[in-house]
Amino acid sequence: MTEAVAELPVARRDGQGRLRVDWRALLALAAPLMVTNAIQAVLNLTDTWFIGRLSADAVAAMGAIYWLMTCVILVLGGVGLATQSFVSQADGAGRRARAAQSFWNAMWSSLNALPIFLLAAVGGGPMLAVFGLDPVVKSLAVEYWEPRLAGAVLSAMTWALMSFFNGIGATRLTLIIAIVTTVANIPANQFFMFELGWGMAGAAWGTNFAQIVGLAVGLGFVLRGELAARYRTRLTLKPRMVMIRRQWAVGFPVGIMYGADVLGLALMQLMVAQVGNVSAAATQIVMMLASIAYMPALGLASAGTTVVGQAIGAGDKVWAMHLGTFVARCCSAFMLSVALVLLLVGPWLLPMFITASDVNAAAVVSAGLVMLLPAATYQAFDGLYFGSSFALRAAGDTHVPAVIAIALSWLLFIPLAHTLVFNEEQAWLSGLPQLGLGGLGGWLALMVYVMCLGTIMYRRWRSARWQQISLWGHSGDGSARS
């Protein structure tokens, strides 16, 4: 192991001189990110609660489009997600100005994607018409889709901003942005949804407004104070096409990989929505409850991206391998623990997210309790997926994982969900066996898919093939310091 690696925040030597993971240092880096993502889970649950005040149909509409909408944002905003890989490697090599350049290039790339986001916004209605949704549910879904996708460029820019802070280890700033955004979202939802009477559209505008507030606060941190001086953020505003192309080469597959994942979820939820509004509403609530497990784990996995990238930038890929493996296993253990807790408290939590006076309230809660079982079963494998894929992203290994995710989503998950959810009369495609299990069938298909995905991604990381990749076209030995 190199001395440069021993100086990294999460490395320490034991009494025999062997390099060990410093638990306290890793937790200090990861804890703000875990809280940040827990806050995002709270934000999701808050939105679900506000929408639940409208009707069960409104919750079903949100469930029908949530992952489809997320897929579009991920694919178009992937370069923002990849920013952390470039920033962490540059920071580990001591090249701070280059880290800042990576951030600004991602911001410019996100702004350039605005016309595509607008096209996606206006195309929502015709696209949703294909899936045979209940007319009321479809109308409510379009009301949310159009303003949210029009403002989705804000999400891509926020990802780039947070990726910069995460890549340099300033995770407390990421936490501050998340807190500000969440706090702003509550009065914004109330104002746009109910004071102005905009309903579902108001929920989208509330999210857009909250992200503007969070983005403004974050840019204030970037452009002022010690951080601005250390990373020369005011001097690196000009876009550099060579770096932008490199970031797109890594970032677009990242967006595709996570996009393929959530597209499968989107289609599964659309299938469930076609079966019935009760199953659709229950599925959306269980998805939001499951986020209590995966959102904090995403924070820990994001910390893994930082420390793995810093280790690679400092020139020690063996230590990077150890860190990535350690974080992936920690994510798996954490998500399994939370899943067990959710199984215990589910009967008390589910009724909170549907209006008691709604005629379908009892049916939604009953269906949700059944769906919690397969949702809890796959959590450990989901943790392996998050930890491993985030470590691979830090190394720039994104093309093969993207192909794996697409193949499993399109060739396994979606056909299996189609088979398990629909009966013969409801099927979109002929030629597949139809078991007609409804919403539960969708969750069983998701369980099988995630177990396969987590296992394969973990094996990809452990294969060490990523060690042959260089983001910057140099050895990454950390010798070029600024």
| 3-class secondary-structure state, position 316 | coil
* pTM, to two decimals: 0.79
| pLDDT digit string (tens) for the chain, length 482 residues | 444 444 666 877 766 767 788 888 888 888 898 888 778 777 877 888 888 888 888 888 887 788 788 888 888 887 788 888 899 999 888 888 989 999 999 998 888 889 999 999 999 889 888 877 788 888 999 999 999 999 999 999 999 999 999 999 899 999 999 999 999 999 999 999 999 999 999 999 999 999 999 999 999 999 988 898 999 888 777 878 887 888 888 888 888 888 888 888 878 888 888 887 788 888 878 887 887 777 788 888 999 999 999 899 888 888 899 999 999 999 999 999 988 988 888 888 788 777 767 667 788 888 888 888 898 889 999 999 999 999 999 998 988 999 999 999 999 999 999 999 888 787 777 777 888 888 889 999 999 999 999 999 999 999 999 988 877 654 444 333 33
Pull the structure tokens for residue 472.
């910057």
Q: Cβ neighbours of residue 284 under 8 Å, at least 6 residues apart?
A: 48, 59, 60, 62, 63, 66, 269
User: Which structure tokens are listed for 450?
Assistant: 């995630």
Rounded CA separation 443/264 (Å): 12
Rounded distance, CA 456 to CA 462, Å? 10
Continuous segment of H or E residues that includes residue 266: helix 241-275
Distance CA 147, CA 170 (A): 32
Strands, E, within 312-362: which ranges?
none
430/174 Cα distance (integer angstroms): 48
Distance CA 293, CA 38 (A): 8
Q: Which two tokens stand for residue 135?
A: 């007319």
pLDDT at res. 473: 54
Q: Which residues of 457-468 are buried (b: 16+ CB within 10 A; e: fewer)?
A: bbebbeeeebee
Which DSSP symbol is given to 424? Answer: T
Joined tokens for residue 68: 């489809």
Handedness of CA 191, 39, 348, 368 (dihedral sign): positive
**Distance separating alpha carbons of residues 109 and 160, to the nearest angstrom:** 10
Query: Nearest Cα to 110, choosing from 223, 208, 213, 252?
Result: 252
Question: CB under 8 Å to 145, separation ≥6 — which residues?
Answer: 65, 69, 121, 124, 125, 128, 204
The helix/strand/coil state of 20 is: strand
| Nearest in space to 397 (alpha carbons), one of 336, 321, 315 | 321
105 with 86: CB under 8 angstroms? no
C-beta separation of 198 from 192 below 8 A? yes
The domain spans of the chain are 3-12+20-468
Is-contact 404 398, C-beta < 8 A? Answer: no
Contact 20, 14 (CB under 8 A): yes
CA pair distance 418, 444, nearest whole angstrom: 11
Residues 377 and 444: their CA atoms lie apart, in Å, by 10
Enter the DSSP assignment of 18. -
In the block, which residue shows the tokens 């911001």? 107
**Dist CA 50 CA 443 (whole Å):** 25
- The pLDDT assigned to 248 comes to 81
